[in-house]
A and B are shown apart, each in its own frame.
Chain A
Amino acid sequence: MEEILRKLVAFPTVTGDSQAAHELIEFVTDFVRRRGMHIERYVANGYESLVATTKPGDKKPAVMLAAHGDVVKAPDELFELRKQDGKLIGRGVLDMKCALAAFLQVIDDIQDDLQAYSLGLMVTMDEEIGGFNSMPQLVAEGYRPKVCVLPDGGDNWQIQVASKGILIYKITAHGRSSHSSRHWEGDNALKKLLPVLPQLESLFPSQGKDTNTMSLNNISGGSVFTQVPNRAQAIFDVRTVTSAEHRRLQKAIPQICAKNNVECTLEASGEPTSFDLQDPYIAPFVALIEKVTGVEVKGVRTLATNDARFLAPFGIPCISFYPKGGGHHSPLEWVDVKAFEQMGAILHQYIEQIAKTTPTITTVPKITKAKKPASTILRLRRRLVKN
């Protein structure tokens, strides 16, 4: 599994690098096809994605394993997996190539008995810029799994029970160029844009875990010293705590922009989502995490958003978590070596419980019993049946 992760990390799949994205999709396609999976490939606005299923053209598998293969920008050296002090370090190891590696490992493990599983694998390449191209397209194609495992959120095995909503805005100010030495003959677009920012920030009096937040992530305008910029733009990321707040800000932000004569476009929007740990498809996963890692799963409200928000409106429970690790989007992104192995084990056991089709399930106890007398899988499955 570590070798798979090493290969995945080596693809410099920064969102928008279509060549690297294509190579990763090709790698995954080849990997799962050799193991008997059936592949559907999609492209939306230049972003490739793939769905592989154990049964040809199956849009409603019991379990969908979903991962995004894109990562945020990083220096070249982060695209080489490093192992140090019990940590695997590299761009995307936590967010979320470790999950993709574990998925591929599970498929590799079950390849000899693939037809006994109702299982799918989804890989998209645009999550880090909001995921607005691929997952909505796949949902529109009709993919409706019973449950989606999407380990892209939460913290240290805590499953995400609620996530903040997201609003990505791009605001643009238009001005008029002139020579820098006579700037009063022009109209500096940057100077029009900058005063809008504090007004927007005033909508976010405190920025923390339990509040709406705003982050100014890109601002650009102008080019050379000698010219007054005629265009300036800013991109900012807003996180909302409730649907009501989400809608309030969605009104207030464009109003402030309009008042300042600055163009405002909503680049992305996703309402806050919530999932229940008692959900019949989530509860077994909780039990497995607790069994394998010893960590008590209480659920966590995460502040980031992920592709789960596109599935939630269809009543599809999504299991989002991160194994022990940290530093996602930062230069020291890492996943704990042991946690990575545990993740593989948990996923495998979950697939055995949930994705195995009914006729085979009846025979499983005997087989499993023979191999593993005191199988946790069995105990958990009984618990699931009771639930």
Chain B
Amino acid sequence: MPTTPNLPANFTNTAQRLLAIESIASQPAQLQAALDAYEQLLYKGCTIERFVSGGKPSLLAYNTPQRPTTFTAILNGHVDVVPGTLEQFKPHIKDGRLYGRGAYDMKVAALLLLYAFNQVAPTTSQPIALQLVTDEEVGGTHGTAYQIKRGVRGEIVVVGEKTDLAINNEAKGIVWATFQAQGKAGHSAYQWEAKNANNALIASLQALLDVYPELSQETWRTSVNIAHLFTPNTTPNSVPDYAEAKVDIRYVASDSNFAGKTNADVKAFLDTFCLPGVQANVDMTGAAQFVEPTNHHISRLRSIVSDLTGQSVPLIQKHGTTDARHYAAVDVPAVVFGISGDGIHADNEYADLGSCITYYQTICNFLSGIPANNINDI
């Protein structure tokens, strides 16, 4: 039978102390301060590996003397936040809600993951890890992705981003591409002697939109947003010789034009929409996240939550991305599971304190109940 441990008594005070740290990307010292504050809360005796990449510190704590090839489970959280108002860094509790920047996204959940790790790791026979990073809000390249590059793997990863206690097993992948059009400048009264970069660029974008039309409502399909169009030429009577467009593509895991493709493949695909003189450059790609709904970890997580709440737990899809995509890129199943709240990236961000208890107990039960016959190759 699963245990139902209680949260440490000083949980809300500790959470408020952590929320008061302005750990935003532009303040590296505060990123470090936030990470250090979490580290001090780890149980004595765990192993701590510290990483730094691109100026972003991160840590990996685990319950074995050496890092195993594969952990049975990794809990992943980020302790950086997006910029907020001064008031938001003075957290407070009102009507069962903990207000403050990062309360929902996701310093509180990171603390709960740490508590669950402290509760289970010292006694379980399974190798489990807590991964805390400080760059999720700016892409995760130097945190989660960096640790993965350094060989960190798990059989299942639980990313504590907000889901209101639902389980997110599928998220769209992302492609950022810049379309660049090269033409020939000239006087626009004699435009036939010139080659208008705008015309070629727009026709190329239109060809892309013909295949991926604008979605008028939430639909689980690949979406394309023309995020930026720019012509450096500002002379009204000059034909522009250069123009560019930034395109944000969110693709579903079943879209074989993007899923599982290399950047070079994606470029080649986007180039098929381009008229002569236009080319696509891939600035960034992120894998689509997808874990089969029948995955046994997902089944267990769902049943634990529904046992605690008495309600069925939905599987949800996400259009945006999280650090889970970095694991998806190396075929490690990663699910996103987090607390309830609201006001993500907004002025009224809060965490629902009632959901915190359920969340903590779920993670504890999930970790302690992992079947012992799973891989264990320390």
Residues of A near B184 (CB, < 8 A) are 330
How many whole Å from A287's CB to the nearest CB in chain B? 28
How many A-B pairs with Cβ below 8 Å? Answer: 158
A87 at the interface (CB under 8 A from B): no
Question: How many angstroms between the C-alpha atoms of A180 and B177 in the bound complex?
Answer: 13
A223 at the interface (CB under 8 A from B): yes
A267 at the interface (CB under 8 A from B): yes
4 nearest A-B residue pairs (beta carbon): A215-B188, A304-B189, A180-B248, A222-B228
Q: Choose one: A194, A329, A331; the contact of B187 (CB below 8 Å).
A: A329
CB distance B227 to A229 under 8 Å? yes
Q: Nearest CB to that of A233 among chain B residues?
A: B229
Q: Nearest CB to that of A195 among chain B residues?
A: B206
How many whole Å from B174's CB to the nearest CB in chain A? 8
Q: Choose one: A188, A217, A219; the contact of B202 (CB below 8 Å).
A: A219
CB distance B238 to A329 under 8 Å? yes
B306 at the interface (CB under 8 A from A): no
Residues on B close to A: CB < 8 A?
A: 172, 174, 176, 184-192, 194, 196, 198-199, 202, 205-206, 209, 214-219, 223, 225-231, 233-240, 243, 246, 248, 250, 283, 319-321
Residues of A near B205 (CB, < 8 A) are 194
CB distance A130 to B237 under 8 Å? yes
A183 at the interface (CB under 8 A from B): yes
CB distance A215 to B239 under 8 Å? yes
Known: A188-B214, A216-B198, A330-B194. 14 other contacts (CB 8 A): A72-B238, A73-B234, A179-B320, A181-B172, A181-B250, A183-B223, A184-B216, A184-B218, A213-B188, A218-B233, A227-B227, A228-B227, A268-B236, A329-B186
CB distance A217 to B188 under 8 Å? yes
CB distance B238 to A217 under 8 Å? yes
Residue picked from A129, A224, A225, most chain B C-beta under 10 Å:
A225
Restricting to A26-84, which residues have a CB under 8 Å from any CB of B? Answer: 72-73
Residues of A near B199 (CB, < 8 A) are 216
CB distance A330 to B234 under 8 Å? no
Restricting to A223-257, which residues have a CB under 8 Å from any CB of B? Answer: 223-229, 232, 235, 237, 239
Q: Nearest CB to that of B228 among chain A residues?
A: A222
A222 with B246: in contact, given A182-B319, A303-B190, A329-B186 (CB under 8 Å)? yes
Q: Nearest CB to that of B236 among chain A residues?
A: A168
Place the interface of chain A in its size category: 35 or more
CB distance B240 to A218 under 8 Å? yes
A19 at the interface (CB under 8 A from B): no
Residues on A close to B: CB < 8 A?
A: 15-16, 72-73, 128-130, 164, 166, 168, 179-184, 188, 190-191, 194, 197, 207-208, 213, 215-229, 232, 235, 237, 239, 267-268, 302-305, 328-331
Residues of B near A129 (CB, < 8 A) are 235-237
A15 with B196: in contact, given A183-B215, A330-B185 (CB under 8 Å)? no
CB distance A181 to B223 under 8 Å? yes
Residues of B near A219 (CB, < 8 A) are 198, 202, 229, 231, 243
Residues of B near A179 (CB, < 8 A) are 320
Residues of B near A237 (CB, < 8 A) are 188-189, 236-237
Question: How many angstroms between the C-alpha atoms of A87 and B278 in the bound complex?
Answer: 33
How many whole Å from A277's CB to the nearest CB in chain B? 21
Question: How many angstroms between the C-alpha atoms of A114 and B30 in the bound complex?
Answer: 74
Q: Nearest CB to that of B226 among chain A residues?
A: A190
Residues of A near B185 (CB, < 8 A) are 329-331
Residue picked from A216, A305, A328, most chain B C-beta under 10 Å:
A216
Q: Nearest CB to that of B190 among chain A residues?
A: A303
CB distance A225 to B229 under 8 Å? no
Residues of A near B186 (CB, < 8 A) are 329-330
Question: How many angstroms between the C-alpha atoms of A181 and B218 in the bound complex?
Answer: 10
Residues of B near A190 (CB, < 8 A) are 226, 229
Residues of B near A220 (CB, < 8 A) are 229-231
Q: List 18 A-B contacts (CB under 8 A).
A: A72-B238, A73-B238, A181-B172, A183-B215, A183-B223, A184-B216, A184-B218, A184-B223, A217-B198, A218-B240, A219-B229, A220-B229, A225-B176, A225-B246, A239-B188, A239-B189, A302-B189, A330-B186
A224 with B206: in contact, given A73-B233, A215-B239 (CB under 8 Å)? no
Residues of B near A302 (CB, < 8 A) are 189
Question: How many angstroms between the C-alpha atoms of A187 and B219 in the bound complex?
Answer: 16
Q: Nearest CB to that of B184 among chain A residues?
A: A330
How many whole Å from A189's CB to the nearest CB in chain B? 10
Question: How many angstroms between the C-alpha atoms of A191 and B248 in the bound complex?
Answer: 14
Question: How many angstroms between the C-alpha atoms of A194 and B208 in the bound complex?
Answer: 13
Q: Nearest CB to that of A16 among chain B residues?
A: B234
Question: How many angstroms between the C-alpha atoms of A329 and B239 in the bound complex?
Answer: 9
Question: How many angstroms between the C-alpha atoms of A158 and B193 in the bound complex?
Answer: 19
CB distance B202 to A194 under 8 Å? yes
